[in-house]
Amino acid sequence: MRGPAPRRPTVVAVIAAGGTGSRMESGIPKQFLCLAGKPILLRTLERLLALEEVAQVIIPLPYGHQARAKSLLAGRAWRVPIRLVRGGPSRQESVRRALIHALPQADLILVHDAVRPLCEPEMMRRVLNAAWEEGAAVPAVPATETIQRVSARGRILATPPREELRAIQTPQCFRSGLLRAALDRAHEAGFVGTDESSAVRRAGHQVVAVPGTPTNIKITHPLDLSLAELIIGPPAGALKEGAMIRTGLGIDYHRLVEGRRLVLGGVDVPFEKGLEGHSDADVLTHAVCDALLGAAALGDIGRHFPDTDSAHRGRPSLEFLAEAGAMLQREGWQARNIDAVLIAQRPRLAPFMHEMCARIAGTLGLPPGAVNIKATSTEGMNAEGRGEGISAHAVALIEKTARREGE
């Protein structure tokens, strides 16, 4: 007579998303960049939820980015509770803080990098099973290059045996009590490891290494994003044959007044006047928002972010743009190209164009080359020419990448 089936563990997944992506040119945390038409954070979350043992997901985030993440998650019925928390000054501290909110009945804690969106189910299963049996497990791939220890002056100090070397990946999985205790002890001692397994090993516990996968890359540099695009689909910005595309037009005007900052494309432009408005009055970003919303037939910026709502008073317009991009994605659309023109007599805007492009592209998860901004004057004619205001026109190209739920 066969005995009862072994109990499956209850797993809490922590997606370490507290980094700010300083190695990317986009200006936003890399977990919010798009990979083949979908934000990296969403791809990673969907991969982890393929494990049916996962009963809760906790996502520690950089300060000021919870609203961006919330807008990405909105509009879908996730099968488990997803909690957004504020991250700490280090990855280790972010994970420790996240565990405060973990389900008390959790058997295992699975910790994964937000920017490893290509983790394979079979590999994650190996890690989970090994941790359930041994208490702690990590995925690892053999080193394929000769690894040298090198001094600060660039001199080779030693050559460790390559057969002993492994590149450690995530997700890493641990018994709940084991990880909590190890992170608390590390925190008290002021020890900051490179990953969770460092803290667990420091606490005196063995960690098992199971086979990882070479395609489980961590997106750290722009080249990593390009490689990930090649692994899962066409290069960023490429339109598939027969793709459904639309264009939208956005136009906005704001009056120049004293006592206000001049913000254009999310960039503070030094000038004696700023644009009047309920938010930061970023006329360029408003025009881009309207172009995107119009292309997707989703109304306009006034409908979604009315100036009668006190919550929007002084709000950065790049946050509107991030939410507009998330609205498009929920409808199955992805921005592919933005072309805009600023009309102003003064100040001179050319020195700020590159940063404006990077801010807008990064907010939408686009490569910098997908956004173009121009500036012109009216040679003294009309309100812009008289220095009374600034206007912006924008055209957006969007592509249908997926069907909405229910279609």
As a whole number of angstroms, the distance between CA 338 and CA 291 comes to 9
pLDDT at res. 144: 82
The domain segmentation of the chain, as residue ranges, is: 11-232, 245-400
Give the closest residue to 13 by CA, choosing from 40, 53, 42, 43: 53
Task: Label residues 67-97 b or e (16+ Cβ within 10 Å = b).
Answer: ebbebbbeeeeeeeebebbebbeebbbbbbb
Pick from 34, 16, 180: nearest CA to 84: 16
Q: Which residue has the tokens 């997803």?
A: 82
pLDDT at 66: 84
Q: H-helix or E-strand containing 139?
A: strand 136-142
The predicted pLDDT at position 4 comes to: 52
Is residue 46 a contact partner of residue 39, using CB atoms and an 8 Å limit? no
Per-residue pLDDT of the chain (407 residues; tens, 9 = 90+): 455 557 889 999 999 987 665 555 555 778 888 887 778 999 999 999 999 999 999 999 988 888 888 888 887 789 999 999 999 999 999 999 999 999 999 999 999 999 999 999 999 999 999 999 999 999 999 988 888 889 999 999 898 888 888 999 999 999 999 999 999 999 999 999 999 999 999 999 999 999 999 999 999 888 888 888 778 765 444 555 556 889 999 999 999 999 999 999 999 999 999 899 889 999 999 999 999 999 999 999 989 998 888 888 889 999 999 999 999 988 889 899 999 999 998 898 888 888 899 889 888 988 767 899 998 887 777 888 788 899 999 999 998 875 554 44
Distances (CA, A) of 135 to 6, 113, 117, 132, 176: 16, 20, 25, 6, 9
Domain 11-232 architecture? Alpha-Beta Complex (3.90)
Q: Supply the pLDDT for residue 29.
A: 79
Neighbours of 121 (CB within 10 A): 11
What CATH architecture is 245-400? Answer: 2-Layer Sandwich (3.30)
Q: Could you tell me how far CA 120 lies from the centroid of its own chain?
A: 20
Q: Give the pLDDT score at 198.
A: 95
Q: Judge whether 286 and 320 are in contact, CB under 8 Å.
A: yes
Distance between CA atoms of 10 and 56, rounded to whole angstroms? 9
